[in-house]
Homo-oligomer: A and B are copies of this chain.
Amino acid sequence: MPDAIPAFRPDRLGKDVLAELPAYDLIELFFFAYRDFVSDPDRILDEYGFGRAHHRVLHFVDRQPGLTIAELLDILKITKQSLNRVLKELIEKDFIESRTGTSDRRQRLLFATAQGHDLALKLAKLQTRRIMRALSELDPDGKKHVSGYLLRLIDPDDRAHVERLVFGDGKT
């Protein structure tokens, strides 16, 4: 008779044991889920000649009217050259407007135009449909679990920043 396998005791898991058991299920589900999630807007973006990079910029500008370049760079974590390429197109095609800052005239404050807002909303609704479909089959407090989990996946140093951005900081 083989040796008994010790009972699984999550409360006793040390770092060493965790390291032995890769969470393949969550790793892979996250990959597939994200792939499908971001692919929803693609067809619509295509009609406008935009890509996913444009979507991300438009999304955050629409959500945070008056965002500065520096703030946007901090959110997206890309270089200003990469940002500028897509931002320039969004401005030229009149989806985003750039105004000179009032208190600091070096800054550029970004705003979605009416057209930009419409597109951002259209894409957000599309993704929301998928999210709601997935949430609908969960417990009533399933959403709390999911958003808590996603939040804690984020780097601890960024977490407070993201929380403010996502849930609002009381100023708005």
- The verdict on A5 contacting chain B, using a C-beta distance below 8 Å, is no
Query: How many angstroms between the C-alpha atoms of A22 and B123 in the bound complex?
Result: 9
Name the CB-closest residue of B to A152. Answer: B134
Chain A binding surface, main DSSP class: helix
| In the complex, chain B residues whose CB is within 8 Å of the CB of A145 | 138-139, 142, 145-146
A128 x B63 contact (CB < 8 A): no
- The verdict on A114 contacting chain B, using a C-beta distance below 8 Å, is no
Query: How many angstroms between the C-alpha atoms of A124 and B28 in the bound complex?
Result: 10
Residue count of chain A within 8 Å CB distance of chain B: 61
Query: How many angstroms between the C-alpha atoms of A24 and B125 in the bound complex?
Result: 9
A149 x B125 contact (CB < 8 A): no
Q: How far is the CB of A42 from chain B (nearest CB, A)?
A: 12
Copies per complex? Answer: 2
Q: Name the segment of A43-51, A92-100, A104-112, A158-166 touching the other chain.
A: A158-166
B146 x A26 contact (CB < 8 A): yes
A124 x B27 contact (CB < 8 A): yes
Query: How many angstroms between the C-alpha atoms of A33 and B30 in the bound complex?
Result: 10
Q: Mark A11-37, 1 if CB is under 8 A from B, else 0.
A: 001010011011111111111111111
Q: How far is the CB of A81 from chain B (nearest CB, A)?
A: 19
Other than A27-B127, A33-B151, give 5 A-B pairs with Cβ distance below 8 A. Answer: A19-B125, A24-B124, A25-B147, A29-B166, A32-B150
Which residues of A are in contact with B by a Cβ distance under 8 Å?
Answer: 10, 13, 15, 18-19, 21-37, 56, 59, 63, 77, 121, 124-125, 127-140, 142-143, 145-155, 158, 162, 165-167
